[in-house]
Structure 1
Amino acid sequence: MFAYFAALNLLDAKVLFSQQKVSELMDPATVGHRASLERHHLFPKAYLKTLGIVTTRDTNQIANYAMVEWGDNMKISDLPPAEYVPVLNERFSGKELERMYYWHALPDGWENMAYMDFLRQRREMMAKVIQDAYQLLAGEHPAVEAATIPVADLVGQGETTTVEFKSSLRINLHTGEKDPRMELGVLKTLTAFINANGGTLGPRKK
């Protein structure tokens, strides 16, 4: 599990169902009275109990964990994934969902899968994410010359490890208030691009 979380940091992944990055919310400097990031059971334990799945070994499988913002964790509560996933997915475009499902190793239609089948498929996908992060760490990825790509093409291709869109510089879109974590996230992205192979940072249309 720790290897997978480290991979999400290396891949500059965003938190599940969020526009904020895993690295931003795992940073001790962003922690308030309650942790910004929480581990969530994708199939909540109370829901699994209704299916007759009650042992800790089964409910607390690593493949059943994902990192979400604490506010989303509260909203999800004990709802079955078939109920909460469609609602949370409405926040994102198709491209964003595709990237999010890759980072978080989620099979298409996972919310309607049988639990044990879901665990089996997600383990394999998590292993692939870890492998991709290791290759990135080892420098086995092609450098991207973002400056030679037209802006329209960059937007059309969506976010990558060298293209990042930000919805806000200072305002937390969930609370509507100024949030220093948002500014810190932009600064971290700029710093990461400067110290890597470069990148492109642009505004996200609402």
Structure 2
Amino acid sequence: MEPLAVRRLVRRWYFAAAITGLYVGSFESEFEQQLNDVSRLETADEFRAYFDRRLAAIMTDDYFSITLPSSLDANEAAGPTWWGFVAAQVVLGAKVLFSTAPLSQLLLMGSSGSKKALDKHHLFPDNYLKSRGYLSQRSNRGNFTLVDYQNNIYISDDAPSEYVRKYRDSLGEDEYRRNCEEHALPVGFEDLDYEEFLGKRRQLMGELVKRAYERL
């Protein structure tokens, strides 16, 4: 196979295996079966077709529209699906929320000295959720995105309608919409009911991951 074709196949397989947890848990029999399957392949076309079939079975439309959004309906921004979403943002060249800095640049270790370059930001802060009876859902994965350290301090515990308005007025409508697209945020998310926001955002997160996967 041509080197570029190999790299593309490896990128897609690694991404699919990582975000779905394909090799987590008792995977030995699965892995052994794959090795046996590959050992019987005789040509580059057969090799490519084998992994294309496997990828098509794993990364289905239902995975992106149902399975992945459902897995994001969990507490804490951690685990394969959360980091898969962040990886997808990097693939698509996203910038940090309300910033001109590329997300990929600030994810590099040591990029900000002794302080963390990025923080996991609650899009709907604690005080806002507490006043509306949603505090128990504060750490839903759909409520997180990555912001730079200074912006996280600046936003503090303001309601979304307050802090988003400041940035929207400052950045302009085009930049606001770019931010929403790159962070899988519904346009006008700052005025949505929290549960409605979570449902819409998790769906958009699935769509963003799909776009990134198709670009690999």
Using the size of structure 1 for normalisation, the TM-score is 0.63
Query: Corresponding residue for 1:51?
Result: 132
**Which whole-Å deviations, capped at 9, do the CAs of 1:82-101 have from their partners, x for residues lacking one?**
11101012332333222221
**Which whole-Å deviations, capped at 9, do the CAs of 1:152-181 have from their partners, x for residues lacking one?**
xxxxxxxxxxxxxxxxxxxxxxxxxxxxxx
Are 1:60 and 2:133 matched, yes or no? Answer: no
Greater fraction of residues in strand: 1
Greater fraction of residues in helix: 2
Are 1:81 and 2:160 matched, yes or no? Answer: yes
d(CA) in 1 for partners of 2:194, 2:96: 22
Query: Corresponding residue for 1:119?
Result: 198
The size of the alignment, in residue pairs, is: 135
Are 1:2 and 2:56 matched, yes or no? Answer: no
d(CA) in 1 for partners of 2:98, 2:205: 17
Q: Which amino acid aligns with 1:87?
A: K
Identity of aligned residues (%): 36
Task: Decide which structure has the larger Cα Rg and report it.
Answer: 2
Q: Which amino acid aligns with 1:46?
A: N
d(CA) in 1 for partners of 2:133, 2:179: 30
d(CA) in 2 for partners of 1:104, 1:129: 8
How much does 1:32 deviate?
1.7
Instruction: Spell out structure 1 runs of 4+ moving beyond 3 A.
Output: none
d(CA) in 1 for partners of 2:197, 2:165: 17
Preserved CA contact (<8 Å) 2:177 2:187: no
In structure 2, which of residues 178, 183, 188 is the aligned counterpart of residue 104 of structure 1?
A: 183
Q: Which amino acid aligns with 1:62?
A: R
In structure 2, which of residues 109, 131, 136 is the aligned counterpart of residue 28 of structure 1?
A: 109
Query: Corresponding residue for 1:204?
Result: none
Gaps of 5+ in 1: 138-206
Gaps of 5+ in 2: 1-81
How much does 1:4 deviate?
0.5
Using the size of structure 2 for normalisation, the TM-score is 0.60
What is the RMSD of the two structures over their aligned residues, measured on CA atoms? Answer: 1.1
d(CA) in 1 for partners of 2:170, 2:89: 21
Q: Which amino acid aligns with 1:17?
A: F
Query: Corresponding residue for 2:121?
Result: 40
Q: Which amino acid aligns with 2:165?
A: P
Q: Which amino acid aligns with 2:91?
A: L
Larger mean Cα displacement after TM superposition, 115-124 or 103-112: 103-112
Which structure 2 residues correspond to residues 134-149 of structure 1 after superposition, within 5 A?
A: 134-137=213-216
Aligned partner of residue 67 in structure 1, secondary structure: strand
Q: Which amino acid aligns with 1:113?
A: L
d(CA) in 2 for partners of 1:69, 1:101: 16
**Which whole-Å deviations, capped at 9, do the CAs of 1:105-143 have from their partners, x for residues lacking one?**
111111010000000000000101000000011xxxxxx
